[in-house]
Structure 1
Amino acid sequence: TGKKTTQLQKLRKDYIRRMCDIEKKALSAQKPRIKNIYDHFIVEERQKIIYCFIPKVQGCACAFLSIVERAGLFKDVEVEILYYTVPLPCTFLTADVLFFFFFLQNRLMNYTKFMFVRDPFVRLISAYRSKFLYNQKNEYFYRKYGRIMMKLYGNQQKPPQTMKEAEALGLLPTFKNFVQYLVDPQTEKKEPFEPHWRQMHRLCHPCLIEYDFIGHQETLKEDAEELLKFFKLENDIKFPSPYKNMTTSNSAMDWFKAVPLEDRRKLYNIFELDFKLFGYKRPRVS
């Protein structure tokens, strides 16, 4: 890319390459389908930037690329939203037609690629908080996932039909129910995890794609500033401060208190590759 890489970025990328090699056997067993590999890739054509969007990781393209758009650096960019309804100055890559596979591969080889990751368990807590605590916008998640959690693990044979009713009765799925749903072997047999709690490496495939920049939620401010320097935009854009009420690693213990140790261990096994590939320590709760 011709852009300077800091020592921290070099360490992160070298670490991922080593871990990908070490975990080759575990990764090869997953065999992602071509059409799903690109579902979370967002591309800005003019600057030739590709961002892998991971739900519940702050610092996503919704923030970064929108800021760039407001700065007037990207103009008249055609917007195509395939999976989400947020306004972005970009398009989602999609490989629904095999014919486009080689075209997309060319993009991945020649465009600048970046992603942001987050402590896997903290990300799960954030996903639960944002999708299963009462909010009218979460009706879809309650109906599709919440009612199942309550019926299978919450001793509710006939859960309320709507999230509003469940909130009024104090019968929303608990974080324990959410973990029970994730560790149940039948869950992923039926369909892949919903992207808000799907493993990060299964969304961005860091062992198949070599990223130019890897940011961490825990060092978001510093990484975002470094990313702007990476794109030579530090004089044009100021990245906003992170939200102060974010779920943190320190608060994770409180959330897992009600979760049995065996379920915590099962959960770690499911997200173990995320911990290992992105350099996060095994949490005390597991």
Structure 2
Amino acid sequence: MQRSSTGLGQSDGPAPVIPQLVLYERSSWWIFFLRQYNGPTQTWEISQMQRKLILNSTCMKYNLTNQAKRLNPHVAYQLFVMPSHKIIFCSVPKAGCSNWKRIFLLLAMNMTNETNALDNENINRSSVLMNIHSTPLLRRLISYPSMQQLELLNNYTKMMFTRDPFERLVSAYRDKLLHVNPAYTERFINPIKAAFQKSLTSEEKVTFQEFVNFILQEKMNDVHWRPMYKVCDPCRIRYDIIGKLETLNQDAAGLLRSFGVPEGLHYPTFKKHKTEPRTNEQITKEYLEKLSEKQIEQLFKLYEIDFSMFNYLSNI
């Protein structure tokens, strides 16, 4: 395996050419899904079709279908392949991706009959499930040869999950900048402290305002707060499923049944920082109130396409 100039693992040969975007069509996958899931399929199917139509409209509005056709290695790095169930999952950080990876790990290990494996206590006891982002058992699309990447994209069911862009940003700040994380201390926290003339050895936390200022100055490009449309490239990769963290219960129930897993296996509720409340609408509002009107306008501009593409405009 060669290394690209981006530092991402990449197979030999050029990146695969992605076909131009066409309108999403009802496929045999939908028929399979409708036969497998006995819940309120019509409502769920309609919501999926609506999300794809809005996505297509946004792609055309911002002329995102006419860019370079080759698969971006940063995108291929975020795509995880599950050959056993013919699934490709785009991992959007801070949109429930960790727990989805835990489910996919059980699928890969053929352990879905152990329905209590994803209980919080069992996750805590399992080093593999706890350190889900570093396991070699989940293979990234970029590790496949270029032509095989295209074949997999054309034939596997592709899914991604989204989250309100501002709520996702606040969640990333709370997780990565308010907790001890050596990698983020070196890459982001120390440079921010230096810019605001704070001692690098000080225990004083980087404020949300300082964090936002650095993002707006484009000094902090990281997948945890990178716009979601850049993480998954849905204007050229036609995702079969677009889930939302806000409708997680409904989306997860339909997906898990379509995967053929036992009824007792559910999307886990595991949370890394157990003593803290999850980032929600109220917490996000409290953080945004610390920003100036200009900062909020600039943030919206940064995430404007996400707000439009994934239909979060009504949240503003």
Query: Among residues 146, 151, 154, which one is paired with 1:106 in the alignment?
Result: 151
Q: SS at the partner of 2:32?
A: coil
Instruction: Give 1:272's aligned residue.
Output: 304
Taking a change above 3 Å as real, the CA distance of residues 272 and 13 of structure 1, as seen in their structure-2 partners, is same
Q: SS at the partner of 1:115?
A: strand
Instruction: Give 2:215's aligned residue.
Output: 182
Higher deviation after alignment, 219-228 or 3-12: 3-12
Query: Among residues 207, 218, 221, which one is paired with 2:235 in the alignment?
Result: 207
Taking a change above 3 Å as real, the CA distance of residues 256 and 30 of structure 1, as seen in their structure-2 partners, is farther
The structural deviation recorded for 1:59 is 4.5
The structural deviation recorded for 1:70 is 6.4
User: What are structure 1's unaligned runs of at least 5 residues?
Assistant: 75-83
Rounded to whole Å, the distance in 2 between the matches of 1:130 and 1:274 is 21
Question: Would you say 1:146 and 2:189 are equivalent positions?
Answer: yes
> Which amino acid counterpart does residue 151 of structure 2 have in structure 1?
N
Instruction: Give 1:78's aligned residue.
Output: none
Deviations 1:199-252 (A, max 9, x none): 111110111111111110111122111111232335362222475922112321
Q: SS at the partner of 2:80?
A: strand
Rounded to whole Å, the distance in 2 between the matches of 1:121 and 1:242 is 22
The structural deviation recorded for 1:32 is 7.8
Taking a change above 3 Å as real, the CA distance of residues 10 and 265 of structure 1, as seen in their structure-2 partners, is same
Instruction: Give 1:260's aligned residue.
Output: 292
Instruction: Give 1:16's aligned residue.
Output: 55
Rounded to whole Å, the distance in 2 between the matches of 1:65 and 1:89 is 10
Deviations 1:78-130 (A, max 9, x none): xxxxxx843364201116x9xx3322111001001111111111111111111
Rounded to whole Å, the distance in 2 between the matches of 1:149 and 1:31 is 36
Rounded to whole Å, the distance in 1 between the matches of 2:225 and 2:59 is 21
Taking a change above 3 Å as real, the CA distance of residues 48 and 236 of structure 1, as seen in their structure-2 partners, is farther
Taking a change above 3 Å as real, the CA distance of residues 30 and 264 of structure 1, as seen in their structure-2 partners, is farther
Query: What are the residue-to-residue correspondences of 1:111-126 with 2, within 5 Å?
Result: 111-126=156-171
Q: TM-score, normalised by structure 1?
A: 0.79
Q: SS at the partner of 1:233?
A: coil
Instruction: Give 1:80's aligned residue.
Output: none
Q: Which structure is richer in relative contact order (CA contacts within 8 A, separation 6 or more)?
A: 2
Rounded to whole Å, the distance in 1 between the matches of 2:149 and 2:284 is 38
Rounded to whole Å, the distance in 2 between the matches of 1:59 and 1:245 is 18
Rounded to whole Å, the distance in 2 between the matches of 1:31 and 1:274 is 20
Higher deviation after alignment, 199-208 or 86-95: 86-95
Deviations 1:121-172 (A, max 9, x none): 111111111111132xx121012111111222x343xx31xxxx432xxx22
Q: SS at the partner of 2:277?
A: coil
Instruction: Give 1:166's aligned residue.
Output: 202
Q: SS at the partner of 2:77?
A: coil
Query: What are the residue-to-residue correspondences of 1:219-234 with 2, within 5 Å?
Result: 219-233=247-261
Q: Which runs of 4 or more aligned residues in structure 1 lie more than 4 Å from their structure 2 counterparts after TM superposition? A: 27-33
Rounded to whole Å, the distance in 2 between the matches of 1:182 and 1:202 is 15
Instruction: Give 1:45's aligned residue.
Output: 83
Taking a change above 3 Å as real, the CA distance of residues 222 and 88 of structure 1, as seen in their structure-2 partners, is farther
> Any conservation in 1 of the 2:106–2:112 contact (CA below 8 Å)?
no
Rounded to whole Å, the distance in 2 between the matches of 1:88 and 1:73 is 19
> Which amino acid counterpart does residue 68 of structure 1 have in structure 2?
L
Q: SS at the partner of 2:242?
A: strand
Rounded to whole Å, the distance in 1 between the matches of 2:183 and 2:70 is 26
Query: What are the residue-to-residue correspondences of 1:78-97 with 2, within 5 Å?
Result: 85-87=133-135, 89-94=137-142
Rounded to whole Å, the distance in 2 between the matches of 1:30 and 1:250 is 39
Rounded to whole Å, the distance in 1 between the matches of 2:301 and 2:149 is 32
